[in-house]
Structure 1
Amino acid sequence: MTVSTTASTVDLRRAPLADVRDLDLRAPARDFWLDEAAAWDRLIASWAGLDDAAWHLPGAAPSDAGGPDWSLAEHIGHVADWQELAADYIPVALQTGRWPSDDDYDGGDFDRYNERRRAPWTTMSPAAIVARLTAARPRVLTAARQLSAEAIRGDKVWGWVYFVLHGHYLDHLVVVEPWTETLRARQVDGDPFVADPRAADHAGFRAQDAAIQSQFDALVRTVPPARWTLEELTPGWTLRDHVGHLADWATEGVRAIGIFHATGTWLSDPDEGIDAWNERHVVATRGETPAAALARYDEAHAALLAAVDTLTIEDLRSPEGWSWACDCLHGHVRKHLAMFGRWCAVADWPES
């Protein structure tokens, strides 16, 4: 089958990035603002479902100025940085007619300029980085919309507007998309992204859980119920199946803690094997509505949090205790968010 990739059929949100970057987005037939909106959607969906700890891991790409490898946090922070700069220089240019020149930025050595502006993004939380980015973008768009389409495409202006908006998004998505896919695969496999993920106390455990549940709420609860069973997110499983599965294991975690209190012994894995156990339980609840699956998840989640509170911190942090507590609660949820978080984030994208 041959897939058409003419300019009129390439979906900037969904098409392979190489096809998008082959387009002439400066062509008069392009709608600059629709292109920007599509590339923006693609950018902000790229990190959906990832832990905060994943943002600051090095390895996204080497530094162009010879410094340490850049992280996801620095890439997104860098995009925000240039939008903040543009939000200031575009209004000045509109008033004076003078646009920046390359020499204004370390004599045109943009690699050096960008390298020395890596702070504060290197230590800033993902939420703070995204907040800066989402605050800067409307300012840039408001200023840039005072320019005509012809003016934006002019040689004097194009680089200073396009390359802080979707031109910049697409440049960084070349790195960000494969890097976030690598991080998701690690998260699915249980990589905690930190040396010791165990909380020091019950308050710390609840804080860990709250951070992951916040992501769950933002991604899963915003998906329309009609989409929960519309397609398989992983082979054979819909969103309803995944949420029901999370509820199944939270309930099993409650049972394990109860048996531990009664006998002093932690449960072993199911005799039938984990995969068979998972499938049997998912099949048994396939008749649930999305609302029922979510309600069961909420109930099991609250019950397991309460059960964890009954453990001593020593029992909670023991290998078996941590496995039954964390791996049936937020440790489990984070794995599944890595599987389907991006799918949830793009569920409301317009049809191509």
Structure 2
Amino acid sequence: MTAFGFEVFATDGAARLGRVHTAHGPMDTPAFMPVGTAATVKAMTPESVASTGAQTILGNTYHLMLRPGAERVGRLGGLHEFMNWRGPILTDSGGFQVMSLAKLRKMSEEGVAFQSHIDGSRHLLTPERSMEIQNLLDADITMAFDECTPFPATPEQAAESMRLSMRWARRSRAAFVDRPGYGLFGIVQGGVYPDLRAESAEALCGIGFDGYAIGGLAVGEGQELMFQTLDVTTPLLPADRPRYLMGVGKPSDIIGAVLRGVDMFDCVMPTRSGRTAQAFTRRGTVNLRNARHQDDPRPLSENCACPACRNYSRAYLHHLIRSEEILGPMLLTWHNIQFYQDVMRGLRAAIAEGRVRQFAAQALADEALGDIEPL
């Protein structure tokens, strides 16, 4: 079986062209991983997700432990078999959802006791239980259990939160079941404070992980502060391990983070936007609810290979949305996932050819022009 690993083929400044090797196949980086919270990328079949070029998807520990249950998924062969996804799967630790969704949660050194937001049942999620759940799910990439530091947070609050996450990271490492092709990522915390980010990175590198995530960003701090935090954080992480910026984001966020040495991304934005009539294009987002599209015969995007653009007009997509037909969100979600994968392909090619800054500048300039007017 393939060993879990990461190789870098080319660099252009801090940007890296690489490949993550997992038990269920490779992931070429920079990579965007569609979010499949409850063992499904909303409004997409696994086959349609794969058709966009996506190689890896996400599952969510919190949601899957509550429904249908990690033990059940394990008995049914793991997430790959359960949802018919043959490529790599990354699962988050569940910590963020416990903090944001669960009822009557109580955090302690042991972990987080909480009531399910679904049925009020009581649970205790600890680093050890998080590792057990992710192992039952058969995640190729498991995330260490952590607390996502909120924003804003004082230096004292951020330090306390980060140090708890570092203690949980050590317990996660000890509880993780090492198997060929499977990896465990630590998560750098510390808010927007460079000294705390440095302390967190040093602690995680001392423990030793197969990859390193940067958490606690895209939580309200804004793009400029996020980039400043990345500027001081990514150089502290091992060059021979993949770097993952969690929960980010807009195309401009991703491009800026790639320029700062980040390899992996995920975000609900393309799927959520597709369900709310928003489509991403080179010229920014298009709102298909807008009446300006009702007589527009053009495709959503001229150079996109997705079915929404190949087979249908803006007028038809507008009709589907205004009629609340389920096909509308399905097509727009497919388009958005395709758009994100096209951005990542463009970034990989640009890094290989030593022109990533030119690619970034052109992409951002195109978006700034806005959507072109209808005929």
TM-score by length of 2: 0.25
Greater RCO, CA 8 A, separation 6+: 1
Larger of the two Rg values belongs to structure: 1
TM-score by length of 1: 0.26
